[in-house]
Every structure is written in structure tokens, then in C-alpha cells.
Structure 1
Amino acid sequence: MNSSTQTVLAHTRIPRHIAVIMDGNGRWAKKRFLPRVMGHKRGLDALENMVKRCAELGVQYLTVFAFSTENWRRPEEEVSFLMG
């Protein structure tokens, strides 16, 4: 998969630290009439790709904010999936 982020980084200096807030996975799934957990699965796939790409590029630190205190109010099945 090729993204605009990868294209930009190929032409600039690589940052030492990248921070990401994962948001919108449930909305992504809902827009496609899929269960919310499918959106979280796609988010996980994207995160795994990001971790690999950061390692390849030499990014020293990757901070991921993936679960807020408000997320504990989600349905039990969804929280269980996210914690898994």
C-alpha cells in the first residue's frame, strides 16, 4: 500500500519521533455498513504497517494513542476486541 505520507517522507528528513492518535475506525466501518470491530481490525492493520515502515525509515520513537478513558464506555464486545 502506498500512502501520501510515505511519498512526503521519501523527499524530506525523517523525524526522530512520530505521534499518532488513532481515531475514526468505527466510523470508517459504519460508513461501509460493517461491524465496528472490522474498522478496528483495519486500524490495527494500518498500525502494524506504520510500525514496520517507521522501523524501515529509521524513526526512533513512535507514540500511539489508541484508547482513551471514554472508550471504556463502549459496548463490552468492542472493548474486549480492542483489549485483545
Structure 2
Amino acid sequence: TLVIHRRIHTGERPFQCPDCGKSFMANNIHSALLLHQKTHVGPRPYVCSDCGKTFRENTSLRRHQRIHTGEKPYRCPYCQKS
């Protein structure tokens, strides 16, 4: 929604993970918060070779590795921020 998109520009993250305190912009059935909460349970077989952080899914590891490479493959079509 537009309200959630505006939070990208304001930095507002009103929803927090009860396990670790990480904050998120939305709290609905498709939100990053609900996906994030799954990281606190189950095996984490994927390990970052740069920092040792572990992940439940290979896609999460690949997304994380962008922190180390500086890759920013996505851009907002409205403000061009990547």
C-alpha cells in the first residue's frame, strides 16, 4: 500500500520481532516480519563464507551476500533509490 511505501522514505518501522527486536515497516500476512520470525526456528544449513552468518534458505544467503559485494539490483521506479 501507499502507506507502507511511504515508510521507505520516512524510515518508519513500527513493527518489531518479539524474539530479537528487529523492526519492520509492515505486519500483515505477506510481511517481512512474518518471514523473519521463521529465522528463529529450525536448522540453518547455509553459511556465509565472508562472515559466518547462517541461513535457513539458500536464497536468503544469496541476498545477504550482497552486503559484502555492494550489489544493489533493485531500484524504486519513483525515486530511483537502489
Tell me the TM-score normalized by structure 2: 0.28
Tell me the TM-score normalized by structure 1: 0.28
Which structure has the higher relative contact order (CA within 8 Å, separation 6+)?
A: 1
